[in-house]
A and B are shown apart, each in its own frame.
Chain A
Amino acid sequence: MKRLHRSTTFRITLRSLLVGLVLSLFSSISAQEPVRIAFIDPLSGTFASIGTSGLKQLQYAADELFNSKGGILGGRMIEIVPLDNKQSPTDTQIQFRRAVSEGLRIIFQGNSSAVANTLNSTISRHNRRNPGQEILQINYSAVDPILTNEQCSFWHFRFDAHAVMKLNVLTDYIAMNPEIKKIYIIGQDYSFGQVVSDTSIELLREKRPDIEIVGNEFHPIGQVKDFTPYVTKIVSSGADAVITGNFGADMVSLARSIIDSGLDIPIYTFYAAYDGITATLGADGVDKIYLVHNDAGNPLPSEERLAYTRNFKRLNPNNDMTQFRITNALQMLVQAMEASQSVDPYDIALALEDMRFTNMSGEELWMRGEDHQIIQPLHISVHTDQNIVVDADNSGFGLYRDFSVPGEETMVDHSCRMRRPRR
């Protein structure tokens, strides 16, 4: 009696175990775990507009290119987890901890090189201390050269050209204009602003020794209410052109103040478009605002790209496809996952190194393995309302491509000596 009882219990346990196993197998097929990606950028505060716009573009790229087509890695969806860092390095640390505790292994981040630098060193430290639990940093926008030079890391990949590469193209363009004799440099007082200033001075001295730098000004980031006092200095310096690395509200206010003062000189910028900037500059900025960037601008280079952008616009009528490199980054990331059949940052990093990729615009991209810096064509566009197919801020104004440089010519030397993890 006792024996029989025991064998029935055994049988019941065995059966429930089997059922459980089958059930768990079944559920893992029907609803595979999503691939979760953290997005750490400002979603509130002074720089919220750039961050939220980036989030929408990443979400769109994930949904449009992968989730709506059955997901990646045989049916897994991409889930974007937004984490707001208010563009502050301190909040970034907090959100990084949160990402780690939630098991997120891939972090997209772009705004502010100060934040990217913090994240880079935090991730390096974390990865050293937690082998097997590494985190991957996908930097889609922070352009401080240090990230792929002195501070380069195996776990960091940059999908935008860094400041020196962009300035190289920009100073080439300036050097072609013989009318420019005096240049005023103004920028936000932090790493990127200083790189822009130092590098412009150095490159212009090489390319056009006759150009005089008549001003080199820094102002605290996001603190200036009114730029008119700065513009007064620019006017009295007699400058023929202005170079600035400002972004967000600092960019709009500066450009508006320059234009309001009646000064008719070109302003060479990195970020003077979209997120309300183009609309605010409007007719006053035509043929004055120049932008060096990695996007082809108008005319859009391919039908596919045009359809992709138009569809984004349909879904987000109040936003623009401002940072196409986010799409590039996600596509290359997914390609690396597919190639390595893994979502482990180490495997992904190996697959990303030296990856060559043709993007939707038909441009050739190369992720240089030595320093994890993307090499891609760069362009200089001008703010105008002529021949604009895809405008910015629904304003009728947009960016028209004026000058392009193929990827291989944008390359600059690097000083990265990467510490590669052993496995």
Chain B
Amino acid sequence: MLEVFVFSTLNGLVTGLLLFMLASGLTLIFSMMGVLNFAHASFYMLGAYFAYSISLKLGFWTGLFVAPLLVGTFGALVERYALRRVHAHGHVAELVFTFGLAFLIEEAVQFFWGADTKNYQSPDLLNFPLFTLFGQEFSAYRGFMITISVGIFLALYYVLTRSRIGIIIQAAITHPHTVANLGHNVPLIFMAVFGVGTALAGVAGVIAGPVLTTFPGMAVVLGSIVFVIVVIGGLGSLGGAFVASLMIGLLQSYAIASNLGMPDLLNLLGLEFSRDHPLNDLWTLTLPQIAPVLPFLLLVLVLIFRPTGLAGKREE
């Protein structure tokens, strides 16, 4: 039982930290522009595909640095030449634009790379078990994923709260006009934040690609869950996103590991239903079976009982 618990925690951490890399960029962009970027997970996918193509020629490590730069540049260009123009027409137009962009990127990925799964492998350097516990290996690559994610969180936290750039960014979020009057180029800041946010998504794609497989559906699979995290954490809150990411990662991992389900609940209540009961599917439902949809359940609960999210500061 202990082994399952330990590994579930590790698995949950890996997933949670990965989700955080996506959520951090998304929440940053939201707090600045007031727009949920629906194409955010698509930038994650682009990161994985760019890195895959680069890794074929120049190896994994080059991809790790170059792919996020490419994604970030692409994101900045999208902000500068498309989103900024759409911005004049209000939030709905922006929302619809990012929504369309997500489809466009998915189609483009299929057009250039094809629809099949890409053989994007983790580097040989990290192809060894970091440690073996209870007969199960924990790969060095997963350890590497955790390190990168934590590193990015710390760096981001430092930049946003301790550096001059961070102060300007925070000021630009709440008082864009004042910041502009002080002589700062606010549109440039917006572009930079969008670029950095998408680059973070790119990093997530680069390091997740080899483990979670690189295929055109990878954005869709992760996309919805990232929104859940941003909403649960409180729109615009980096700390909230961090807590929510880990929470969801661990929640899913523990739910899968558990063997609990409706049968146990019924046993506890002393009830029993025959196999041909019309609601048999409901009475035999187990926690692992619904684990991947639990975050959405949590989302509904949060929206009902705490609409601002865990750390949201949204005004009424």
Residues of A within 8 A of B (CB): 43-49, 51-53, 189, 217-220, 222-226, 228-230, 232-233, 235-236, 248-249, 252-253, 256, 260-263, 275-277, 279-280, 282, 318, 393, 395
Interface segment among B65-73, B108-116, B161-169: the answer is B108-116
What separation, in Å, do the CA atoms of A47 and B221 have in the docked complex? 12
What separation, in Å, do the CA atoms of A275 and B135 have in the docked complex? 32
Chain B hits for A47, CB < 8 A: 217
Residues of B within 8 A of A (CB): 3-4, 7-8, 11-12, 14-15, 106-107, 110, 114-121, 129, 132, 134-137, 139, 141-142, 211-213, 215-218, 220-222, 225, 252-253, 256-257, 286, 288-293
Chain A hits for B135, CB < 8 A: 235
- A229-B11 in contact (CB<8A): yes
Q: Smallest Cβ distance from A135 to chain B, in angstroms?
A: 27
Interface of B, helix, strand, loop or mixed by DSSP: helix
Chain A hits for B211, CB < 8 A: 226, 256, 260
In the complex, what residue of chain B is closest to A275 when comparing beta carbons? Answer: B116
- B14-A226 in contact (CB<8A): yes
A-B contact pairs, 22 of them (CB 8 A): A46-B216, A48-B110, A49-B116, A52-B115, A53-B116, A189-B289, A220-B292, A222-B217, A225-B212, A225-B292, A229-B7, A229-B12, A236-B3, A249-B215, A253-B213, A261-B136, A275-B116, A275-B117, A279-B119, A280-B119, A280-B120, A393-B116
Q: Given A226-B211, A262-B137, verify A49-B117 contact (CB < 8 Å).
A: yes
Q: Which of B142, B213, B225, B252 has the most CB of A within 10 A?
A: B213
3 smallest A-B Cβ distances: which pairs?
A: A276-B117, A46-B217, A262-B137
Chain B hits for A52, CB < 8 A: 115
What separation, in Å, do the CA atoms of A44 and B118 have in the docked complex? 16
In the complex, what residue of chain A is closest to B103 when comparing beta carbons? Answer: A44
Chain A hits for B142, CB < 8 A: 228
Chain A hits for B129, CB < 8 A: 262
Q: Smallest Cβ distance from A357 to chain B, in angstroms?
A: 30
What separation, in Å, do the CA atoms of A279 and B120 have in the docked complex? 9
Query: B106 is contacted by which of A44, A51, A232, A261 (Cβ under 8 Å)?
Result: A44
- A282-B11 in contact (CB<8A): no
Q: Smallest Cβ distance from B169 to chain A, in angstroms?
A: 30
In the complex, what residue of chain B is closest to A318 when comparing beta carbons? Answer: B114
Chain B hits for A263, CB < 8 A: 136
Q: Given A228-B11, A229-B256, A232-B257, verify A222-B116 contact (CB < 8 Å).
A: no
Q: Smallest Cβ distance from A44 to chain B, in angstroms?
A: 7
- A256-B213 in contact (CB<8A): yes
- B289-A219 in contact (CB<8A): yes
Chain A hits for B292, CB < 8 A: 219-220, 223-225
Chain B hits for A253, CB < 8 A: 212-213
In the complex, what residue of chain B is closest to A226 when comparing beta carbons? Answer: B15
- A280-B15 in contact (CB<8A): no
In the complex, what residue of chain B is closest to A219 when comparing beta carbons? Answer: B292
Query: B134 is contacted by which of A46, A220, A222, A236 (Cβ under 8 Å)?
Result: A236
What separation, in Å, do the CA atoms of A193 and B26 have in the docked complex? 35
What separation, in Å, do the CA atoms of A275 and B116 have in the docked complex? 5
Q: Smallest Cβ distance from B248 to chain A, in angstroms?
A: 11
In the complex, what residue of chain B is closest to A216 when comparing beta carbons? Answer: B286
- A228-B14 in contact (CB<8A): yes
What separation, in Å, do the CA atoms of A252 and B212 have in the docked complex? 9
What separation, in Å, do the CA atoms of A393 and B117 have in the docked complex? 10
Q: Smallest Cβ distance from A88 to chain B, in angstroms?
A: 12
In the complex, what residue of chain A is closest to B19 when comparing beta carbons? Answer: A225
Chain B hits for A232, CB < 8 A: 3-4, 7-8, 11, 136, 257
Chain B hits for A229, CB < 8 A: 7-8, 11-12, 252-253, 256-257, 291
In the complex, what residue of chain B is closest to A194 when comparing beta carbons? Answer: B281
Query: B293 is contacted by which of A49, A53, A223 (Cβ under 8 Å)?
Result: A223
What separation, in Å, do the CA atoms of A217 and B259 have in the docked complex? 10
